[in-house]
A and B are shown apart, each in its own frame.
Chain A
Amino acid sequence: MNIESTVKKIKILFSLSILSVTLVIFVGMRVMKESVYVSTRYIGMAFNYLKYEAENLNRQGLAQAASVALFDSNQLSYTRDYARSVPVLAYHRVVESSDGANVTAENFKDQMFALKEAGYRTVKLSDLEAFLRGDKYLPEKSIVLTFDDGAKDSFYPVDPILKALDFDAVNFVIGKHSVKDDLENRDGYYLNRDELKAMLRSGRWEIGSHSWDCHGQIPVAETGERGYCLTSRLWLADQSRLETETEYLARVTGDLALAKRKLESELETKISSFAFPFGDFGYESKNLENASTTLAQATDRFYAMNFYQPFVGESTENRPNPEAASHLVGRIKVSPEWSGQDLIKKIEEGVQ
């Protein structure tokens, strides 16, 4: 074939390949820009995981070496008793430097390794529910890890440790913050829909509801006093009155229903658990008698388990209660200062 016609063919091939490269670049950019997996934080997790896995293997190796040295063959044939109560831990975010409210990465790691070394294993929400119903026995030292609010910092620093230690966890997300346009929420404070989906896909995470948009304070009296959105009646300034109990129940029912429906449809998962914002299931209501009973009418309609915060000194044990239609689950609020050993002690005490 002569060179001119070859060059013509080459021009066509060249144009086509340039077009494909351009297309690949633009499509690739679009996909990667939105992809959860292609982000510095996500990729960074892989490195952190290796770090924790190495530490885990290292510690296990030491433990094993110690047991071999002591000829402690009992440990190998150790059988577990059944759990009488399953403790549930409540975290919010895991942060780099202490802010007084959230656990630092250093302490969190220490706590998780302590749990692992003390023999704790995490269980799924469905296991906990079956346990509370009395339908299932769980091994002793079963535990549930939960994180509230669905902040990015409750996933990225946490997940590599969970993966290394083979732990699972639950994240209670605020629907309105997490289920919205992803580009808008890509670098924000809260985990977005794609991140939550990626968490679900990992198999380590379950998602629970932390209300749709009722994680804050509202006016509860003419004075401008404020109370928790979910447990107090709203002061209707334009009508100079409090909402009625019926209006209150309709408002919170609407919120809880929306949270369940939207989270389930957006994340394609079952939402069976709810964590009360601020851990309050009615005790701290400003203006509603028996708030807990009224609120329970709403929560029990949508959720099988409702997680609350016991006061200091109250029991944090969760024992089977076959009679209950839905379960109130008490959680241990993990204090930022606790070391791993402090945490184990608190769990064993079973008191907040």
Chain B
Amino acid sequence: MKKSSLIFNLFLLVLAITALFLMVMIKSKTADLYESDPFIFVYAIFITIFQLSRVLAAFLYNRANHSIDSDVDDYYEPTVSFVIPCKNEGSTIGKTVEKCFEAHYPPSKLEVIIINDGSTDNTQAVLEEYKNVYGERLVVINWEVNRGKRHGMAEGFRRAKGEIVVQLDSDSYITPETFVHLIKPFSNPKIGAICAHADPENADANILTRMQSAYYFISFRILKAAESAFATVFCCSGCSSAYRRDIILPILDEWLEEKFLGLPVTWGDDRALTNRVLKDGYLTIYTDRVRAFTIVPEKFGIFLKQQVRWKKGWFVNSIFASKFIYRQNPFVAFTYFFPLIIVTLMTPFMAVRALIINPLVRDLSPFYYMAGVLLIAAVMTIYYRYLDKDNKYWPYVFVWSGINMAILSFILFYAMATIQNRKWGTR
């Protein structure tokens, strides 16, 4: 991520101050409208402060990052196992395996475990060929019948010989030269899981993927970084994260058999795993020094399905985490975790109220609400530009924020309504 010139940064600072000024101005101008609705008024201020707090926390992330770096034992070089469940990935699995072995890390300390989970294409044949190249260091587990990603992961963890297990999606890879930064921080025994920075590999496929690129940057480099400032990342993304094996093994069965309302949970496996690491009192962090790439959906329908799965995962795991987080880490629980739940649950209602009910019933303009959403997006975008001047997807933050306001915030309710549908969503 390239830092930018002083003048550019000053320009961003001016923009940020303008955005804040306009935000406060809108609040001051709408204060009267809320006189009959003090709750809405308090909520509007609360949500603004909450969203700004994420940017502030992300600002503090570098401090945490430096502290972790300075703590690293340079001689620490544990054995590492990649665990990659896959199904019908004959065309891409080869590249994924190659990238793992290209990592700038002693080859003797690397192991790749592929769980071929009931593929019906040439995946098995492709893997056999790679087996000839890498020999013992590539472990292929072939399952005739598909058992699901979570079972594949669990099998991988059990078979792993490495002290650190790197979880990868079958179409994701970690840039070889940055890989080592995903492992080094584990030299601090309190760190249980590390999440890499992921960007979409197919970013330029269409508008949807460009928008997801902007969304990924914000969710990783701002939102996860903000969580990481307190060494409490709630979801080490399934596409590229590393775990300490010794921590995972004792909780593997419980994680594998996770149930919600009596049925097995088939989504949010990554979030569920990270939460269990947190529950055991370990630190979880995000690192922007490791760059991973993954494939994102190119079709809107598939994208929506993915979102629904993520929301379900978020919902179920938020309930799980709310049972321990207030004891484990009260500061994060009350400044972030519970406020986030309130905001996420309230946003759809507020959007309906401001965009539909107010204009139709009370003849109030939805302008102020939209301007508020736009300004928060603007603040995020300004910080985005500050963090990485060369990332060209920033205009799509506004597209994302518009779609989020209109559609995505409501998906949570669809997800909650269909929570008993436990089909494994396709990618």
Chain A residues positioned under 8 Å from B60 (CB to CB): 10, 13-14
Q: Can you name the residue of chain B whose Cβ is closest to the Cβ of A2? A: B71
Query: Which of A2, A6, A17, A31 touches B56 (beta carbons < 8 Å)?
Result: A17
B49 touches which one: A6, A21, A30, A31 (CB < 8 A)?
A: A21
CB pair A21–B24 under 8 Å, yes or no, is no
A67 to B334, CA, bound (A): 75
Q: Does the CB pair B25–A7 fall under 8 Å?
A: no
Query: How far apart sit A6 and B53, CA to CA, in the bound complex (Å)?
Result: 18
Give the chain A neighbours of B4 by CB distance below 8 A.
none
Kindly state the separation between the CA atoms of A45 and B71 in the bound complex, as whole angstroms. 59
Chain B proximity of A175: nearest CB distance (Å): 27
Residues of chain B lying within 8 A (CB to CB) of residue A9: 63
Q: How far is the CA of A26 from the CA of B27 in the complex (A)?
A: 9
Output the nearest chain B residue to A38 by Cβ-Cβ distance. Answer: B25
Quick check: is B52 within 8 A (CB to CB) of the other chain? yes
Cβ contacts under 8 Å, B296 to chain A = none
Query: Could you say which residues of chain B place their CB within 8 Å of the CB of A3?
Result: 64, 67-68, 71, 188, 190-191, 231, 283
User: A1 near B: Cβ within 8 Å?
Assistant: yes
Max chain A Cβ within 10 angstroms of own Cβ: one of B25, B70, B188: B25
Task: Place the interface of chain A in its size category.
Answer: 20 to 34
B48 within 8 Å of A (CB atoms): yes
Query: In this assembly, does A25 line the interface, its C-beta being within 8 Å of a C-beta of chain B?
Result: yes
Q: Name the A residues within 8 Å of B24 (CB-CB).
A: 24-25, 28-29, 32
- Contact at A18–B28, with CB atoms within 8 Å? no
Q: Is the CB of A7 within 8 A of B52?
A: no
Question: How far is it, in angstroms, between the C-alpha of A209 and the C-alpha of B39 when the chains are bound?
Answer: 44
Closest Cβ of chain A to B225, distance in Å, is 12
Q: Mark A8-50, 1 if CB is under 8 A from B, else 0.
A: 0111011101100110111011111100001010000000000
- The residue in chain B whose Cβ has the minimal distance to the Cβ of A30 is B28
* Alpha-carbon gap, A7 to B228, bound state (A): 9
Smallest CB gap from A21: residue in B:
B52
Determine whether B196 belongs to the interface, using a CB cutoff of 8 Å to chain A: no
Alpha-carbon separation in the docked complex, A18 to B60 (Å): 12
Q: B230 to A28, Cβ gap below 8 A?
A: no
Minimum distance in angstroms from B375 CB to a CB of chain A: 13
Pick from B49, B63, B190: contact of A4, CB under 8 Å = B190
Residues 364-400 of B, flagged 1 when their CB comes within 8 A of A and 0 if not, give: 0000000000000000000000000000000000000
**Docked complex: B48-106 residues within 8 A CB-CB of A:** 48-49, 52-53, 56-57, 60, 63-64, 67-68, 70-71
- In the complex, A232 Cα to B241 Cα: how many Å? 90
From B20, B23, B24, B68, residue with most partner A Cβ within 10 Å? B24
Q: Which B residues are in CB contact (< 8 Å) with A11?
A: 230, 331
Contact B63 A21 (CB under 8 A): no
Which listed residue (A10, A21, A33) contacts B229, Cβ 8 A? A10
For residues 8 through 63 of chain B, which have their beta carbon under 8 Å from a beta carbon of chain A?
Answer: 20-21, 23-25, 27-29, 31, 45, 48-49, 52-53, 56-57, 60, 63
**Chain B neighbourhood of A30, CB < 8 A:** 28
Residues of chain A lying within 8 A (CB to CB) of residue B64: 3, 6-7, 10
Q: B57 to A14, Cβ gap below 8 A? A: yes
Select which of A10, A18, A29, A33 is within 8 A of B53 by beta carbon: A18
Known: A10-B229, A33-B28. A25 touches B48 (CB 8 A): yes
Q: Digit string of B229-244 for contact with A (CB within 8 Å is 1, else 0)?
A: 1110000000000000
Interface residue? B335 (CB, 8 A): yes
Of B49, B68, B229, the contact of A14 (CB 8 Å cutoff) = B229
A69 to B377, CA, bound (A): 55
Q: Is the CB of A29 within 8 A of B28?
A: yes
Residues of B within 8 A of A14 (CB): 53, 56-57, 60, 229-230, 335
Contact A32 B28 (CB under 8 A): yes
Q: Give the chain A neighbours of B53 by CB distance below 8 A.
A: 14, 18, 21
Task: Please name the residue on chain A nearest to B53 by beta carbon.
Answer: A18
With the chains together, A9 CA to B331 CA distance in Å?
12
* CB-defined contacts of B188 to chain A, threshold 8 Å: 2-3
Q: Which residues on B sit within 8 Å (CB–CB) of A18?
A: 49, 53, 56, 335
Which residues on A sit within 8 Å (CB–CB) of B68? 3
B283 cross-chain contacts in A, Cβ below 8 A? 3
Task: State in angstroms the CA–CA spacing of A21 and B49 once bound together.
Answer: 7
Q: Are A6 and B67 in contact (CB under 8 A)?
A: yes
* Smallest beta-carbon distance A202→chain B, Å: 21
On chain B, the residues within 8 Å of A15 by CB distance are 335
Residues on B with beta carbons closer than 8 Å to the beta carbon of A1: 67, 70-71
User: Nearest chain-B residue to A19 (Cβ)?
Assistant: B49
Q: Closest CB of chain B to A201's CB: distance in Å?
A: 21
- Contact status B56-A28, CB under 8 Å: no
In angstroms, Cα B63 to Cα A9, docked, is 9
| Closest-CB distance, B342 to chain A (whole angstroms) | 16
Return the chain B residue nearest A186 by Cβ. Answer: B32
Q: Which residues on A sit within 8 Å (CB–CB) of B29?
A: 32-33, 40
- Contact assessment for A25 and B56 in the assembled complex, using a CB-CB cutoff below 8 Å: no
Which residue of the partner chain, among A4, A6, A13, A28, contacts B28 with CB atoms under 8 Å? A28
Give Cα A147–Cα B190 distance, bound, in whole angstroms: 76
**Complex Cα spacing A109 to B212, Å:** 52
Cα A25 to Cα B190 with chains together (Å): 38
Cβ–Cβ < 8 Å partners of A24 in chain B: 20, 24
Docked pose: A7 CA to B421 CA in angstroms: 40
Bound-state Cα–Cα, A101 to B269, Å? 75
Give Cα distance in the complex from A59 to B49, angstroms. 50
- How far is it, in angstroms, between the C-alpha of A213 and the C-alpha of B31 when the chains are bound? 32
A191 to B371, CA, bound (A): 29
Complex Cα distance A204/B395, Å? 44
Q: Quick one: closest B residue to A39, CB to CB?
A: B29
Residues of B near A21 (CB, < 8 A) are: 49, 52-53, 56
A-B contact pairs, 9 of them (CB 8 A): A1-B70, A3-B71, A6-B63, A13-B63, A14-B60, A14-B229, A25-B48, A25-B49, A26-B45
Q: Interface on A for B, CB 8 Å cutoff?
A: 1-4, 6-7, 9-11, 13-15, 17-18, 21-22, 24-26, 28-33, 38, 40
18 more A-B residue pairs beyond the given contacts A7-B231, A28-B21, with a C-beta to C-beta distance below 8 A: A1-B70, A3-B283, A10-B60, A10-B64, A10-B230, A14-B56, A15-B335, A18-B53, A18-B56, A18-B335, A21-B49, A21-B56, A25-B27, A26-B45, A28-B25, A28-B28, A29-B24, A38-B25
Enumerate the 9 nearest inter-chain pairs by beta-carbon distance, A residue then B residue, closest first.
A6-B67, A28-B24, A32-B28, A29-B28, A33-B28, A10-B60, A17-B56, A3-B67, A29-B27
